Amino acid sequence: MLNVTIDGVRVEAHEGETILSAARRAGADIPTLCWMKDINEIGSCRVCVVEVEGQDGLAAACNAPVFDGMSVRTKSPRIVEARRFSVKTILSKHRGECTTCKRSGTCALQSLASSLNVGELEREPDYRREAWDGSFPLQRDASKCISCLRCVAECSKVQHCSVWDFSGSAGQRSVGVKESLSIDVAKCALCGQCITHCPTGALTERDDIDKVLAALADPDVLTVVQVAPAIRTA
Ligand code: FES
């Protein structure tokens, strides 16, 4: 076992364990946004940054492994400022307009911005605009996507559908339907799990989802109807 100190609290950790995992055992409260345990530990949003004694830069707690004798601070003015910077960077590419967003009140980004006291940005955000098939039960708004890849990970690693994919590297990533297919031919199972795991309003269901699913209620599309409740709980 490895000995690690988090905010002065000593905990044992195992080889390969992340700072985030050990820190939670020590009672530390580190925010996360892109992270999903075991399936999306890409360290992209950097809202989980912490200070590691002896290191100049900040570490992403969600994917930096612990080492024996490591001492970590999860709270300091520098950390708060870095997290605020990360959230502002994300917001600079996100169409806010929270008051009209379906996810207002349940949006992880909105909640994080509020807890870090990040208000209006100095510049208008520069977000993506993409057309979407409004007749499909699942709706995607690219202007709200923060490229956290949670939908990609959930769809490919858990649901084994791989409807979503991304292109570009860190900072320039964009998410879309795999191979730029139209969503209606991408073999989406309508499980709703990408909606559930999307931290913003980028993925939602149609407002009239019940009507849409009722119209689909014939034996040929029984699978769609059976999995529909997963969408409604998103
Ligand atoms: Fe750690 Fe996103 S939660 S980088």
Atom number of ligand 1 nearest to Cα 33: 3
Cβ 145 vs Cβ 175: under 8 Å: yes
In this structure, is residue 187 part of a structural domain? yes
In this structure, what DSSP letter does residue 64 have?
P
Same domain flag for 134 and 221 = yes
Q: Summarize pLDDT for 97-135 with one digit per residue, the tens.
A: 899 999 999 999 999 999 999 988 888 888 999 999 989
140 shares a domain with 49: no
Atom of ligand 1 at shortest range from CA of 148: 2
Local structure of residue 12 (DSSP, 8 states): E
Q: What percent of the chain has pLDDT over 90?
A: 79
Q: What are the pLDDT digits (tens) for 197-233?
A: 999 999 999 887 777 767 666 555 444 433 433 343 3
Whole domain around residue 24: which residue ranges?
2-79
Residue 15: alpha-carbon gap to chain centroid: 26
Q: What's the ipTM?
A: 0.99
The first and second tokens of residue 23, run together, are: 């820190």
Q: Which of 40, 61, 79 lies at the terminal end of a domain, its last residue?
A: 79
Residue 42, number of CB atoms within 10 A of its CB: 19
Alpha-carbon gap, residue 228 to 159, rounded angstroms: 15
Instruction: Please report whether residue 88 resides in a domain.
Output: no
Q: Are residues 149 and 224 in the same domain?
A: yes
Task: Dig out the tokens for 180 from the structure.
Answer: 């730029």
Closest C-alpha among 33, 28, 26 to residue 48: 33
Nearest-CA residue for ligand 1 atom 4 is: 43
Hunting for tokens 């870095």 — which residue is that? 82
* pLDDT, tens only, 31-73: 999 999 999 999 999 999 999 999 999 999 999 999 999 999 9
Residue with tokens 């530390």: 28
